[in-house]
A and B are shown apart, each in its own frame.
Chain A
């Protein structure tokens, strides 16, 4: 019973490592997430981003373009979440003037 946990963890790690060997290589253009067209025929987003990010926003860092331009609305929501957390701490913890 003492060795049950390490044994289970080792088996799980072996399973995960075996699964990693089936993933596509980094930057493989034929990988499913990089295809220009998905299996259902709709255009793929990652392919558009890697092709057009620099042309659209004149910014070499594709991650920045996706985060702040293509997905700008999402980033605004994240900023609002952080701001809300700060406001809640302010309301709960700051002493009120009495």
Chain B
């Protein structure tokens, strides 16, 4: 199965839309401190942009955008970032996930906790994105597609 759709309208419009969806997803993740949003929502949108390409041109070509073997690694790295930040805080002498003790240079106090929240949200986003793409790829492989 090379392409799911032969219509040039579907292929081109999904190719045009995908990067803008990714840009807005990054905005949702990194602006989660000031507006509704965060890691879960942004990660789901990142996955949606990749899945849009895969649905329109097929997994073989969609793999040029995001390799299939990256998905499980991405979700594992996301969870590791989250748990690792908690462990770093633990090793620095604080409690688990106590962001005010992360070793991040000049930042301290509330600013450091704000940065810790951002790092954790990036981890959540990577985890959600990798998991959603991985589930889609696994289902496609079960269908005999891919």
Does A87 interact with chain B (Cβ within 8 Å)?
yes
In the complex the two chains form, is A57's CB within 8 Å of B134's CB? no
Residues of chain A with a CB closer than 8 A to B32's CB: 61, 64
Indicate the member of B114, B121, B132 with the most A CB atoms within 10 Å: B114
Chain A residue at minimum C-beta to C-beta distance from B74: A86
**Number of interface residues, chain B, beta carbon within 8 A:** 42
Within 8 A of A (CB), among B98-146: 99, 109-111, 113-114, 116-117, 120-121, 123-124, 127-128, 130-132, 134-135, 138-139, 141-142
Indicate if A50 sits at the interface (CB-CB under 8 A): no
* Residues of chain A lying within 8 A (CB to CB) of residue B67: none
User: CB of A89 within 8 A of chain B?
Assistant: yes
A51–B56 alpha-carbon span in the complex (Å): 49
Which residues of chain A from 46 to 80 have any CB-CB distance to chain B below 8 Å in the complex? 55-61, 63-65, 67-69, 72-73, 75-76, 78-80
Contact between chains at B83 and A59 (CB < 8 Å) = no
Interface size on A, residues (CB 8 A): 31
Q: Could you tell me if A64 and B135 are in contact, using CB atoms closer than 8 angstroms?
A: no
Interface-located stretch among B1-9, B33-41, B58-66? B33-41
Residue in chain B with minimal CB distance to A54:
B110
5 contacts between A and B (CB under 8 A): A60-B33, A67-B38, A68-B120, A72-B99, A83-B75
Question: Which B positions have Cβ atoms within 8 angstroms of A?
Answer: 32-36, 38-40, 71-72, 75-76, 78-79, 82-83, 86, 96-97, 99, 109-111, 113-114, 116-117, 120-121, 123-124, 127-128, 130-132, 134-135, 138-139, 141-142
Which 8 residue pairs are nearest across A and B when measured between Cβ atoms?
Answer: A86-B131, A58-B110, A93-B138, A72-B97, A57-B113, A68-B117, A58-B114, A59-B33
